[in-house]
Amino acid sequence: MTTLATLEATICSTLGHDISFSGEPLGDPTPLPFATETDMLGNVSLRRRREFAWGRHHARVALRQLGVAPVPILPRSDGAPLWPSGVVGSISHSCCDCGAVAARVDNVLALGLDIEDDEPLGADLLPIICTPTETERAEWSSSRFGPKLILVIKEAVYKSYAPGTGAFLDFQDVCVRIKHESGSFEAEIVNSDKPMSFGSRIINGIYLPFRMGMMAVAARFRGA
């Protein structure tokens, strides 16, 4: 089956834009972040230090593929990464994998990436993650991920949404339609109290299974 490291071409061809991706299983040795990033991170667990460092590593590889020199990527107060000027992107890590996407703002307004392992979603989480409409449709039934597909999509949607709006989205604020034929999704912000994302309540994207995991990329394109 496809590995995480080989997904970039699929991301670009499916989304039809130049989106840079870097990702692979968390490995050793852990890359060394910039000193300013390490200082900001402070005294955290070894696990957190490792996932943070790999996230920054993949973010810098994704930036390099766009022609952007390596720079520290510090977090905003809400935790979202502060990308260099002219770039948007997103970072994700699961227990075993890590990756980052980035793109130029001339084409792409916002990106959200989520990576999850293939551990099934606990039954108790189903009514928290999925809306009653999603549960009734059960569009995940042909996927080996089951309802966890909705989780990975919604977390990617949230990461594409929050930095631009400054607003929080609960899982029940968004309703997802899965299009299996194309491996894509359409997420609608169904809570009308929530601000739109760049003038739209619809956020589109793709989901990609890989060996031992699943990834979703949500994107808002300029002019779309």
Ligand X SMILES: CC(C)(COP(=O)(O)OP(=O)(O)OC[C@H]1O[C@@H](n2cnc3c(N)ncnc32)[C@H](O)[C@@H]1OP(=O)(O)O)[C@@H](O)C(=O)NCCC(=O)NCCS
Footprint of ligand X (CB under 6 A) = 52, 55, 75, 78-81, 91-93, 114, 154-155, 157-159, 162-163, 169-171, 174
Nearer to ligand X (CB atom), residue 15 or residue 157: 157
Shortest distance (Å) from residue 162 CB to ligand X: 4
Shortest distance (Å) from residue 81 CB to ligand X: 5
Residue nearest to ligand X (CB): 79
47: closest CA among 81, 90, 95, 80? 95
Rounding to the nearest 10 degrees, give the CA dihedral for residues 112, 215, 132, 110.
10
Nearer to ligand X (CB atom), residue 15 or residue 150: 150
Nearer to ligand X (CB atom), residue 121 or residue 174: 174
Q: What is the CA radius of gyration of the chain?
A: 17
- CA–CA separation, 149 and 135 (whole Å): 12
101: closest CA among 16, 18, 1, 163? 18
Shortest distance (Å) from residue 164 CB to ligand X: 9
Nearer to ligand X (CB atom), residue 16 or residue 39: 39
Integer distance in angstroms from the first to the last C-alpha of the chain? 33
Nearer to ligand X (CB atom), residue 13 or residue 45: 45
- CA–CA separation, 181 and 174 (whole Å): 22
Shortest distance (Å) from residue 143 CB to ligand X: 18
192 alpha carbon, distance to own chain's centre: 23
Shortest distance (Å) from residue 52 CB to ligand X: 4
- CA–CA separation, 89 and 101 (whole Å): 5
* Token representation of residue 166: 């400054």
